[in-house]
Structure 1
Amino acid sequence: MQATAKDLRFHSKELLNTVKRGEEVVITYRGKPCAKLVPIEEEKKTSPETNELFGIWNDNAQAENVENYIRTVRKGRFNAN
């Protein structure tokens, strides 16, 4: 669908409803296309079971005691000297 900049100004609600239905709206200015309104794709939330990086440190022996591991990694950066 095409609409002019004037249509966008005065009929924005109707154009947004058109986009909400899944259509694309090309906005023209002085007869030339200058913008496109498209529906936003919903982000799919990943669950831990489907995320391949979840549990990446599960088998790492260093991560058994996370607090000690982090302290060791940060050692020297946060000295109070």
Structure 2
Amino acid sequence: MQATTKDLRLHTNQLLAATDRGEKITITYHGKPRAQLSPIIARQDKPSSTNPVFGMWQDKQETSVDQTVRSMRQGRSFS
């Protein structure tokens, strides 16, 4: 579907309804495509337990997360 910038300004609700139906809309300005309006597809997030970073500090007893972050924020010392 195509719509002009004037259509976008005057008929925004109708164009958004079209995206709700799954249509992609090309917005034109002086007859040339300028933008595309498309529906957002819901993301399927993975559970955090599948992330390799999950549980990274589980086996580390020698330092705490707070100490590590504090040392990272300290910055470099130049001599």
The verdict on a shared fold, with TM-score over 0.5 as the criterion, is yes
Paired-residue identity, %: 42
In the alignment, structure 1 segments of 5+ residues that lack a partner are none
Bigger CA drift: 14-23 or 37-46?
37-46
Question: Could you tell me which residue of structure 2 aligns to residue 6 of structure 1?
Answer: 6
Q: CA RMSD in A?
A: 2.3
How is 1:2-81 mapped onto 2 (pairs within 5 angstroms)? 2-63=2-63, 66=64, 70=67, 74=71, 77=74
TM-score, scaled relative to structure 1? 0.68
| Rounded Cα–Cα distance in structure 1 between residues aligned with 2:60 and 2:44 | 29
SS of aligned partner of 1:3: strand
How many residues align? The count is 71
| Rounded Cα–Cα distance in structure 2 between residues aligned with 1:41 and 1:59 | 38
In the alignment, structure 2 segments of 5+ residues that lack a partner are 75-79
Give the partner amino acid of 1:32.
K
